[in-house]
Structure 1
Amino acid sequence: MPREEGRKVIASNRKARHDYHVLDTYEAGISLMGTEVKALRMGRASLVDGFAQIDGGEVWLEHVHIPEYVQGTWTNHTPRRKRKLLLHRAEIDKWAGKVRESGMSIVPLQLYFEGGRVKVEIALVKGKKEYDKRHALRERQDRREAERAMSLRQNR
């Protein structure tokens, strides 16, 4: 069976970039059961409430919803179980010190297949204040209006 080429996105957490300032990102492998991979191949997952915790020198992904595989039997997985992330020790130690600081946390941004393997893009984030969110929305609206005006000007 040929290997998959490129990156096939399964799920992305678009709200994370709205709610947090992304400071640093890593690509991590994820330890999954067979029925979880089959459910992901069907393109079903949700990262909305997901976060990662460092516990005992290991990083665990929590509250990520991968629904049960429809054709699975008694070997099926539980949808919101803790899943181990596969990172190098130096990366874990680097982020462990930063997470201890107040206001920092680790959230998943994307879940995808790369070369036939499931990967998750995790980010070290700091929460945004309400006025930061409003400011970002306003900047996006202003940019869209400017692009719209420039395209109308060019089409004339």
Structure 2
Amino acid sequence: MPREQGRKVVASNRKARHDYTIIDTYDAGMVLTGTEVKSLRAGRASLVDAFGHENNGEIFLHGMHIPEYSQGTWTNHEPRRVRKLLLNRSEILRMQIKLRDDGVTLVPLQVYFNNGYAKVELGLAKGKKAYDKRQDLAKRDAEKEINRELGRRGKGMA
């Protein structure tokens, strides 16, 4: 059977982009068991309350929920276990330096399959204040209104 080609998104953490300012992003592989991969291929995962943590020069993903595989037996996995992430040494060192800053955290943004391999997109993030969130919403609404008006003018309606 040929390997999958392209990128297939399994789970996305849209709330993270609303609650945090993303400073930098990294793509990392994950160490998974067989039933976890099968459950991910079925499109079942949740990134709510998930975060990355550095421990002894390695990066781990905590709180990601991959439900048990329905056809799994006694070999099924624990849904919220800690998963090791696979990154280059230089990427880990850059992350460690940036994570030392106050208020910076590691947030998973997406879980996806890239050419058959399960990957997670991590973002180095800094929390937004309530007024930052309101400014972003106002900016987005203004851009929508501008695009709507330009569309009307292009059609000769205004």
The 1-side partners of 2:98 and 2:18 are apart by 21
Gaps of 5+ in 1: none
Partner of 2:19: 19
Q: Give CA deviations for 1:5-60 in whole Å, capped at 9, x if unaligned.
A: 11000011111111111111111000000000000010011112110000111100
Partner of 1:97: 97
The 2-side partners of 1:141 and 1:49 are apart by 28
Q: Give CA deviations for 1:88-140 in whole Å, capped at 9, x if unaligned.
A: 11111111121122100001111000111101110111111110000000000
Partner of 1:127: 127
Cα RMSD between the aligned structures?
0.8
Q: Give CA deviations for 1:54-74 in whole Å, capped at 9, x if unaligned.
A: 011110001011011001001
Partner of 1:75: 75
Q: Which amino acid aligns with 2:42?
A: M
TM-score w.r.t. length of structure 1: 0.97
How many residue pairs are counted as aligned between the two chains? 156
Q: Which amino acid aligns with 2:15?
A: K
2:28 corresponds to 1:64: no
Gaps of 5+ in 2: none
The 2-side partners of 1:114 and 1:101 are apart by 31
The 1-side partners of 2:142 and 2:44 are apart by 34
TM-score w.r.t. length of structure 2: 0.96
Runs of 4+ deviating beyond 6 Å: none
**Local SS of the residue matching 2:120:** strand
